[in-house]
Amino acid sequence: MITVMGATGNVGRPLVRALAAAGEQVTAVSRRETADVPDGVRVMPVVESALDGAEALFLMVPGGFAPVDDVLAAARAAGVERVVLLSSQGVATGRHPAVLEDSVRASGLKWTMLRPGGFASNALQWAESVRTSRQVVAPFGDVALPVVDPEDIAAVAAAALLSGRSGDVYELTGPAPITPREQAAAIGEALGEPVRFVPRTREEARAAMLGFMPPEVADVTLGILGAPTPQEQRVSPDVSRVLGRPPRPFTEWAARNAAAFK
């Protein structure tokens, strides 16, 4: 049995589907008792109570880098053997702290680290403005990053959970760097209507971010978006290496999620 944290999120939802389709017994950790999960998947609101009988754990900490030592201790006590951590590319580049990875490495469990870059699904922050005015308002319109489809993150996570391997660190990106201006055009193509890109200054973007994230997180995020390092702009081979196919492009993500922008 495999326990999946964040089971209704952009990565957790397709991960639960993939594991269930593979015939695995899955416990989805979700505070929503009516979570949309495949038949046969057990839903539990608290991770500690969802670990009984689990052999593996997909570990995701919503909203940042909260301590996970208690969860890992509970996993060990429940007999969990291995953990797959949703970490961040920022750990490798020094943008983000390594506290989660350090805890997992010290846990005594077998482990795999997933380090995705920017998510294609971050474009959902533009959904309302696209719906109401067919425009995307964002900073750094011509700075490109190889954003990764959460479906690909989920597929790599499923492969890691099912393989029994240990000690792997995967950096996960999309197939090519893409700018916010190009993302707006791809959303427009998916809708069959033009979507205009409207530049926003760094200061305007920071002010908007402070409404839902701490200043230090906003500053790191803006640093990645506006002045990425060569490593942050590099296309990683790891999705292809694990899945045996290229990562999905942003255009495919946009087409699959067009309804969110209509």
In angstroms, rounded to a whole number, what is the distance separating the alpha carbons of residues 85 and 169?
Answer: 10
* pLDDT score, position 31: 83
Sign, CA dihedral 257-13-167-244, equals negative
* pLDDT score, position 94: 94
CB atoms within 10 A of CB 175: 18
* pLDDT score, position 125: 96
User: For residue range 42-83, what is the model confidence (pLDDT) as tens digits?
Assistant: 999 999 999 999 999 999 987 655 679 999 999 999 999 999
- Per residue, the 3-state secondary structure of 156-202, as one string, reads HHHHHHHHCCCCEEEEECCCCCECHHHHHHHHHHHHCCCCEEEECCH
Average pLDDT over residues 141-153: 98
* pLDDT score, position 63: 62
Average pLDDT over residues 180-192: 98
Q: Is the pLDDT of residue 174 over 90?
A: yes
* pLDDT score, position 171: 98
CB atoms within 10 A of CB 251: 17
Q: Is the pLDDT of residue 186 over 70?
A: yes
Q: How confident is the model at residue 229 (pLDDT cuts 50, 70, 90)?
A: very high
* pLDDT score, position 36: 83
User: For residue range 154-171, what is the model confidence (pLDDT) as tens digits?
Assistant: 999 999 999 988 999 999
The residues facing 85 across adjacent strands are 59, 113
Annotate 82-132 with DSSP letters as a single string: EEEEE--HHHHHTSS--HHHHHHHTSSSEEEEEEE-SBGGGGGGGHHHHHH
Average pLDDT over residues 232-257: 98
Q: How confident is the model at residue 34 (pLDDT cuts 50, 70, 90)?
A: low
Average pLDDT over residues 7-22: 96
Q: Is the pLDDT of residue 208 over 90?
A: yes
Q: Is the pLDDT of residue 128 over 80?
A: yes
Q: How confident is the model at residue 33 (pLDDT cuts 50, 70, 90)?
A: low
Average pLDDT over residues 223-236: 97
**Closest Cα partner for 225 from 194, 169, 181?**
181
**Closest Cα partner for 150 from 86, 94, 237?**
86
Residues 6+ apart with CB under 8 A from 129: 135, 136, 137
* pLDDT score, position 65: 59
Q: How confident is the model at residue 131 (pLDDT cuts 50, 70, 90)?
A: very high
Sign, CA dihedral 220-225-230-236, equals positive
Q: Which of the residue ranges 121-125, 201-205, 211-215, 227-231 would you say has the lowest mean pLDDT? A: 211-215
| Distances 245 to 116, 158, 248, 256 between C-alpha atoms, Å | 17, 15, 9, 18
**Tokens 């190889």, residue located:** 146
